[in-house]
Structure 1
Amino acid sequence: ENIEELVTAARGFDYYQSELEIPMDELTAFLTHAALEAGEGQAAEWDDCVQMMTMHSSKGLEFPLVFIVGMEEGLFPSQRSLEEEGKLEEERRLCYVGITRAREQLVLSCAEHRRLYGQDLYPSPSRFISEIPDNLINEVRGKHASSFKVSTPLYKTSSYATADAVNGIYVGQLVSHKKFGEGMVTNLEGSGSHARVQVNFKHEGSKWLVMAYANLSPA
């Protein structure tokens, strides 16, 4: 997995020699960029800057503004915590630690589409977000984001689904159903006449449908 993530990072690296302060070849530029991204040069607590750290290393610290990224099923909580007994509660406590580092403002972010280990993934928002009271959440979305609330639990057997299509339907696609209205495809299973699709409908919630009888159309 580490090698696959290295390949993904290398593919996403933009090399512009004209922007470099010191001329260097593409490989050296990538390794230099990776070293900077590693965040090994941690600033002092009182410095006026953005500090990047793990939740474990944030224990005992407080900041006016805290960002927690990757709040997605399969990342946080991790896939391992969903499979091993007791691990989920451990990560829930860790999430509490991260949340309580913020004195004034907290920003939790999750991706609707992520490329990880060389795959296009469509993760669900972390269940930890849905456990926060709605009156404490001010949801902000990008211009082209879908219309689904991040507080809606979308847990599925496989927390990350690949972009493989079944009968022309793929995970992450916005579809329309005659009875249930618009929704987003969150999971697929089976093939042929046994194919099933899970759709999180905007007003009706998550439902499993038999593909042959669902009569779904692109929204």
Structure 2
Amino acid sequence: MIAQRVDLANLTIEDLGLFASPDRAVRLTTIHNSKGREYGAVALINLREGRFPHFRAEDMDAERRLFYVAVTRAERILMYIAEPDRWGNAPSRFLGQAGAGLV
């Protein structure tokens, strides 16, 4: 950016997109859109009861299959965040008592 004489002091978020490297950028996607793809590292957030599985889900087997898709997309590193929230929702039942046991 310096070589291209970019005004770094006045750079906006939109401007940064012009310099992003698609091969090295962080990709945000949904679990549904990740089917059939693999990533070097995957971070799953919000793995709490009520969110995953969703509190309105009627087909728990479908939710479990979706969880399987999510945890099998990582080639090397899988991180998940499942802390209890302010309403006391526990981590997702799919993680089990001691977590996913994938360490």
Q: Could you tell me the TM-score, scaled by structure 1's length?
A: 0.36
Residue 4 of structure 1: aligned partner: none
Go from structure 1 to structure 2 and tell me whether the alpha carbon gap of 1:20 and 1:111 turns closer, same or farther (over 3 Å shift).
Answer: farther
From 62, 71, 76, the equivalent of 2:52 is: 76
Residue 97 of structure 1: aligned partner: 69
Go from structure 1 to structure 2 and tell me whether the alpha carbon gap of 1:20 and 1:123 turns closer, same or farther (over 3 Å shift).
Answer: farther
Listed as ranges, the matches of 1:1-219 within 5 Å are 47-81=23-57, 84=58, 87-114=59-86, 121-130=87-96, 134=101, 136-137=102-103
Structure 1 counterpart SS, 2:40:
strand
Deviation, structure 1 residue 111: 2.8
Once residues 64 and 83 of structure 2 are traced to their aligned partners in structure 1, the CA distance between those partners, rounded to angstroms, is 19
Aligned pair count?
89
Structure with a larger share of its residues in strand? 1
Q: Is the CA contact 2:84–2:90 (under 8 Å) kept in the aligned structure 1?
A: yes
Greater displacement, 57-66 / 124-133: 124-133
Deviation, structure 1 residue 105: 1.1
Deviation, structure 1 residue 68: 0.6
Go from structure 1 to structure 2 and tell me whether the alpha carbon gap of 1:70 and 1:133 turns closer, same or farther (over 3 Å shift).
Answer: closer
Q: Could you tell me the TM-score, scaled by structure 2's length?
A: 0.72
| Rg comparison, structure with higher value | 1
Once residues 58 and 75 of structure 1 are traced to their aligned partners in structure 2, the CA distance between those partners, rounded to angstroms, is 18
Deviation, structure 1 residue 110: 1.4
Letter in 1 for 2:61: E
Once residues 35 and 78 of structure 2 are traced to their aligned partners in structure 1, the CA distance between those partners, rounded to angstroms, is 16
| C-alpha RMSD of matched pairs (Å) | 2.8
Letter in 2 for 1:67: A
Structure 1 counterpart SS, 2:56:
helix
Could you list the structure 1 runs, at least 4 aligned residues long, displaced by more than 3 angstroms after superposition: 19-22, 131-134
Residue 186 of structure 1: aligned partner: none
Deviation, structure 1 residue 20: 7.4
Q: Which runs of 5+ in 2 are unaligned?
A: 1-8, 15-19
Deviation, structure 1 residue 113: 2.5
Q: Which runs of 5+ in 1 are unaligned?
A: 1-18, 23-32, 37-42, 115-120, 138-219
